[in-house]
Amino acid sequence: MRGLKGRVAIVTGAAGGIGRAICERFVDEGIKLVAADIDEEGLNELADQLRGRGGNVVPLAFDITRFENVMVAVSRAAEHFGKIEVLVNNAGWDIAKPFLDTGPELWDKIIAINLHGPLNLHKAALPHLISAGGGRIVNIASDAGRVGSSGESVCSACKGGLIAFSKTVARECARDNVRVNVVCPDPTDTALLRSFVGEGEYGQKIYDKLQKAIPLKRLGQPEDLPGMIAFFASSDADFITGQVISVSGGLTMHG
């Protein structure tokens, strides 16, 4: 894709299934990568793997829910590479429970990771994107934020908020040459999905029902996502901002 080689990007949730696939694609495209995750061990293993592919990679382990930590980490990334041009907010977490079976402690954790985390990254990274002459932000949300999803009430609220926030920042920062777009990957076959639906016979039934509900008759794989994310990060998407697209096998054909 045009314009990716040499760009500097931060990807959060880098050590997870989707994050790893994004990082691999970015390295293959010649992007200078800041791989961010709270899992330091997994992050270092990923960095070694990506360097083996020829990647220019800096692993940064920090908690996206802690504003001060995010500000320090992003400043370190900018200092190392001299600039930041792409931000991918990929980190997320949820657990499947009906709303009435949840409480404030769980709400706070879900909101901190899925909403406060991206807000922190935007606050820290946007000044660097603007000072670099513009850039791209790709926020990973979910169609649960557009149409709802049983067992994902609070996470759906966070993803809906992230979509609305993305559109607002896209409007505010267009004059600064910053494009902000959203990718909704639902559902994707990762360890997080397996933990979400649960183990055993009941979990397998939910897993099988998900596959049957998808028009393309399979769950998404992590490798299905990076193409769209790379597109939004590239010069091929120069005239696209404030948009939301699903990568879901047709499960939700949202206009």
Q: What is the percent of the chain where pLDDT is above 90?
A: 78
Residue 161 confidence (pLDDT) above 90: yes
Give me the mean pLDDT over the 22-46 stretch.
Answer: 97
Alpha helices, H only, 97-225: 104-111, 117-131, 144-147, 153-173, 191-197, 200-213
Local confidence band at 211 (pLDDT 50, 70, 90 cut-offs)? confident
> What per-residue confidence (pLDDT) applies to 255?
66
Give the pLDDT score at 216.
Answer: 87
Confidence check: pLDDT of 214 > 90: no
pLDDT at 189: 73
Is residue 85's pLDDT more than 90?
yes
Report how far residue 57's alpha carbon sits from residue 231's, in angstroms, rounded to the nearest whole number. Answer: 20
CB 101 within 8 A of CB 153: no
Q: Rounded to two decimals, what is the model's pTM?
A: 0.93
Q: Are 216 and 189 in contact (CB under 8 A)?
A: no
> Buried (b) or exposed (e) across 63-102, using 16+ Cβ within 10 A?
bbbbbebbbebbeebbeebebbbbbbbbbbbbbbeeeeee
What's the rounded Cα separation, in Å, for the pair 237 and 20?
23
Confidence category of residue 156, pLDDT binned at 50, 70, 90: very high
Least confident of 13-27, 29-43, 165-179, 202-216: 202-216
Domain ranges of the chain: 8-189+223-246
DSSP β-bridge partners for residue 245: 183
pLDDT tens-digit map of 101-150: 999 999 999 999 999 999 999 999 999 999 999 999 999 999 999 999 88
* Mean of pLDDT over the chain: 93
Going by the DSSP 8-state scheme, the letter that residue 188 receives in this structure is: B
Residue 192 pLDDT > 80, yes or no?
Answer: no
Asked whether the predicted pLDDT for residue 197 surpasses 70, the reply is: no
Is the pLDDT reported for residue 196 higher than 70? Answer: no
CATH superfamily of 8-189+223-246: NAD(P)-binding Rossmann-like Domain (3.40.50.720)
Report residue 75 CA to chain centroid gap.
Answer: 20
